[in-house]
Every structure is written in structure tokens, then in C-alpha cells.
Structure 1
């Protein structure tokens, strides 16, 4: 009996080809799409290239029909809101810059995949991430993808050995161009679908607008390293360490955000050498 694998399918090219490759390798493949965030009621920008719409779910379903594999949809919107979206906003309130994709992989995607795999009595889970897994006598090594321009290994650093040992990432061994060609050769309608861009739950791509709609911010001072006040800001949430543009201070030697102080609401700037 072939080993069973549950594949996370977003409706995009990469996860679709992951399912295709695994089926070609003889696995018993099951497609699972996680409904993370509801964008269908939002005013999406023209030519939106994100995910999380009903069209994406239908694309995943269509691919599964083409591959003749079962397809399930999991509603994880509540968990995604509390563990990714709320985390995203709260980190900015604390003066820290969050990485929602890392939180999503760590708290949502792999945990729910593993749960579904257990229910379906599957041996493995798989994703369309561009990363490689090398199994050694000492454990599983997470390595960069063959296509360095698409590498996503850095967003998976939180995975432990138990998760890595049960995970497959087949597309990481190929360049993106070959992945698209495989999809086209297999007759998958998503072969030319654009890659997702930016943060999936911020369709406009402007995180500051997103935060303004959800947070009440407090103005504060922009100060030099010696404490001299050189400007004002609308809220520390709109700054990130290393930021240079949009500081609203007088021109001169380039200044960067070197520290954010949530207690005093101060944004401290200085030369690049202070970073």
C-alpha cells in the first residue's frame, strides 16, 4: 500500500505541482486547502496577486479534480486571526517588526496539517515551499532551495525535528521555471497564475493603512541618540528598525531608526553605524 501524504494546497502553482510530483512518485495524495482569511468581502486592488479568496479555493479544487485526488477545505480563520493577524498588530504596538509568514507556518499551517494527517491516517504532510529537506542519521536538515531567488527556508526555521521528519517539500529541488513548465505539461489551468505577493491579509500591500484601520495610536517624539528632539510622529507602529525613508526629519546626513521605545513612545534615529 502506498504511503499517504496530505498536501497543503493554496490554489497556486507551487503547491499544485507539489501534489503533482508526489502523485507521480507513487504517493497516495490528499489535497487540503486552509481558509485562512476572508478577503472576498474586501475591496481588492486591481490585478490582486494574493491568496485567501474563494477563487483560490476553487483553483485548488480544480487541480485536485485534474489529478484525481480528494480535496478538503479547512476553516482556520479564527485561529489565523488570533495567532497571526492579532500578533502582527500587537508586535508593532510593542515597537517590534513581526514576520507573519513565520507565525503562520509555525502556529497555523503545519499544526493543522499534522492534525488532518492524523485524522486521515497519513504518513506525511507536504507543502509547496521552496526549501529542501535532507535526512541524515542525526536528524533532518532544513536547507535552501535550488532556486535561491525563491528560497523560503528562512520562514520555516521554527519547525522542530518531529515536524521536519514527517514533511515533504518536493518543489525545492527545482527552479521556478521548471515548476511552471511541469504545471503546463500536466494541463493544470493555474500554470500561468501569478505568484502571491506581499502579506496575504493586506491586499493593498500598505501595512500602515491596515494598522490605522485597526489601532488607536499615540503620537510621540523623534529623537537623536543624544535625546535631542528633531521631530514628531503619529505612532511608533509605523516605524521599523533600520527604516530610513519617511522619518519626516530635516535633510542632512542619512538617518535610520535605531531604536523604538514603546514606554516613552519615542523613535530614536541615528547614523547607519548605530544600527
Structure 2
């Protein structure tokens, strides 16, 4: 196959590309330039896709002996990932930019360009497995599964890709036993990125100050911090800077009557209000999610099924009953959690699993406290 290998400049994508070459594919490396800002030239790789990373990606391609290109996707990145990040916070929701980057950039803009140029698939360094399952009709069904190394598993952020893009993807690191093993393999292959630190934080927030980034982009929008009865406890400079479950940074000088800490329970951007209260009010056991994308074609609409769900990229799965809903052309998901979870915010991804297999995902719209929860 003709394979387009996404080279981020890190060790994972370099080893994934090396494995694709070793498997006999015709591989071309490409680095995605997602920002024109020189502020993203960092040492130690706080984020990803910096100028430093582009140089590391080029060196990896040279070692592998494959063609290498840099594609400027900064406009698409700004118009999709960054714009979504800002609009979601502005609407009082908590987005996951890595999910949106996989959806709009790595498995949309990159894959679409690759297919237009005659490539058969995109190869990335994500930790996830693709399993081909033979069907009764003689056709194979592609399933997305958790990686062998559950500590590095990234199936949560890949669930948004959809079945068609899954069919055009390669994840060579899905069976890697550990990140240490991948680093050792990189060193054996002569890849200089073998000891490069992992990237973290939001790649387009160069200094890691998310609140400052939002303030610079969205401006000052003063409002009130209130309790569940509507009593004003303090003021803020922008409701977008708060998220459900937050405890620190509230700036309140008056303690709760019983002396317990207060947490953000709700963000109301239209009223400019941030609602705070005790921790027990953060527990929820019923979720409603929209913008659903299903990878499994064997999940029947309107039927409750027993599954596991994951709410955060590095969260633990929780047993749940889930129902797929179709209303008009929209796909929604309802979930009843066997164990209540705290601090669930609208905008987070709800990913549905059956064992290691990813069935689908949706974006949380509402979180509820069911009758089974104590008041």
C-alpha cells in the first residue's frame, strides 16, 4: 500500500513509520505545521507540532530513507480545532482539543489530502489496535480496540474518526507492550528522538496558561459567582475560565456556612454566572450526549445495552447501560452509570466500549443526578 505517515517529531510516530516501512509499504512522511507562531518553538516539547518537532521529524525521515514533506495545515487547524476550543468554552462547555484535532486534522484534512494524492492509508503513532473480524457474508469488519499497553491507550481520542476513516488508518504501535519498549526500538533503529520527552498540555497554548489564552482571545466578561440559591458570593472576569468540578482559583473570600470547600457546579454563560456548591452535588449517574459517531454497525437503536463508558482520556471505564437514539437525522446517546461520577462537564467525550472494543462516541450535552443518588 501507499502509506502517508504522519511524523509529529516524536518517538511514537517515528517508530510507527519505521514499522510501516518494514511491513513493505510505500511510505512517505509528512509533518503537519499547525501554527505559524514562533512562540511554539519550545525546548523539551511541552506540546506538539512545534518548529523543533518539524526538525526532529525530518531527521527521522532521513534515517528511515523515506520522502519527507511539511504540509501547512495551520489555517484548517485555526478554523476547526482552535475555533471549536474557544466557542465551547464561551458556551460554558469543556472541550477536548485532542479529540477535535484527530477528527478535523489528522483523520480529515490529512487523510483527505492523502487520498486525493493516491495514498491508500494514513499511519500514525497512536496507541490503539485495529482488528479485522471476518463476517458471515465473507466481508471483514474493522474494529477499533484498546492498545495492548492500557497505560498508553489512545482509543478514547480516536473514537471520533468514524468507520470510513478507520478503514483507511494504520496504528502500528497498537501491540507495543510499553512506551519503554518503543523507546528502546527507536534507539535500536538509530532514531535520535528515542529519548525525547512526551508532549503534553494543549499544543496551541504555548505557555500552558489556558485561562490566559482564553482571556486574550475572548476578552473581559465580568459576572457573578453564585451559590445554588442564587446568592452572590463573588465576581469573575469571564465565566469561560471555569469548568465543572473546579475548586481552585474561584477567588472567594467567604467560606461556606459549614466550612466545606466549594466547587463549580455549573457555568451559565448567557447570564455570566458561575454556580458553586458542595462536592456531593457534583456526582451524576445519567448522561445525555449528542453528535454521536458509531464505529459499530451492530448496535441497534432504541435498545439499552450493557457496556462500559469512559469520560476522560485517562479516566477509568465505568459500567453503564447505554441507549442509541435517532431523532430525525441526529444521533444521540443516553447513558445510565452503574457508579456515579463527579465533575462531568458538557463538552467532554463519552466513549462507549464493550471490553476492549470501541463501539462509538458522543459529546456530553447534559449530566443528571438520578433518583438513586442521595440528596
- Give the TM-score category using the shorter length: over 0.9
Asked if residue 267 in structure 1 is aligned to residue 274 in structure 2, the reply is: yes
How far residue 18 of structure 1 moved from its aligned partner, in angstroms, is 0.3
Distance 1:66 1:107 in 2: 30
Distance 1:218 1:170 in 2: 46
TM-score by length of 2: 0.69
Partner of 2:263 in structure 1? 256
Secondary structure at 2:193 match in 1? coil
Distance 2:186 2:43 in 1: 25
Residue range with higher mean Cα deviation, 205-214 or 136-145: 136-145
1:222–1:231 contact (8 Å) kept in structure 2: yes
Asked if residue 134 in structure 1 is aligned to residue 131 in structure 2, the reply is: yes
Distance 1:242 1:233 in 2: 17
TM-score by length of 1: 0.93
Partner of 2:48 in structure 1? 51
Residue 79 (structure 2) aligned to one of 79, 82, 104:
82
Partner of 2:337 in structure 1? none
Secondary structure at 1:232 match in 2? strand
Distance 1:111 1:153 in 2: 17
Distance 2:247 2:161 in 1: 33
1:101–1:155 contact (8 Å) kept in structure 2: yes
Residue 13 (structure 1) aligned to one of 11, 14, 17:
11
How far residue 84 of structure 1 moved from its aligned partner, in angstroms, is 1.0
Within a 5 Å distance, the mapping from 1:212-251 to structure 2 comes to 212-249=215-252, 250-251=254-255
Partner of 1:115 in structure 2? 112
**Unpaired segments ≥5 residues, structure 2:** 136-140, 283-375
Q: Deviations over 1:206-250 (max 9, x none)?
A: 101111222222111111111111111111011001111111223
Within a 5 Å distance, the mapping from 1:147-226 to structure 2 comes to 147-174=149-176, 175-226=178-229
Secondary structure at 1:61 match in 2? helix
Go from structure 1 to structure 2 and tell me whether the alpha carbon gap of 1:192 and 1:43 turns closer, same or farther (over 3 Å shift): closer
How far residue 196 of structure 1 moved from its aligned partner, in angstroms, is 0.7
Go from structure 1 to structure 2 and tell me whether the alpha carbon gap of 1:13 and 1:47 turns closer, same or farther (over 3 Å shift): closer
RMSD: 1.6
The structure, 1 or 2, with the larger RCO (C-alpha pairs under 8 Å, 6+ apart) is 1
Go from structure 1 to structure 2 and tell me whether the alpha carbon gap of 1:14 and 1:48 turns closer, same or farther (over 3 Å shift): closer
Q: Deviations over 1:53-94 (max 9, x none)?
A: 222112111111111111121111011011111221121111
Choose between structure 1 and 2: higher helix proportion. 1
2:42–2:50 contact (8 Å) kept in structure 1: no
Q: Deviations over 1:119-142 (max 9, x none)?
A: 332222111111111122463222
How far residue 44 of structure 1 moved from its aligned partner, in angstroms, is 5.7
Choose between structure 1 and 2: higher strand proportion. 2
2:46–2:203 contact (8 Å) kept in structure 1: no
Secondary structure at 1:146 match in 2? coil
Secondary structure at 1:22 match in 2? helix
Give the number of aligned pairs: 272
Distance 2:45 2:112 in 1: 31
1:144–1:152 contact (8 Å) kept in structure 2: yes
2:34–2:49 contact (8 Å) kept in structure 1: yes
**Unpaired segments ≥5 residues, structure 1:** none
Partner of 2:63 in structure 1? 66
Partner of 2:366 in structure 1? none
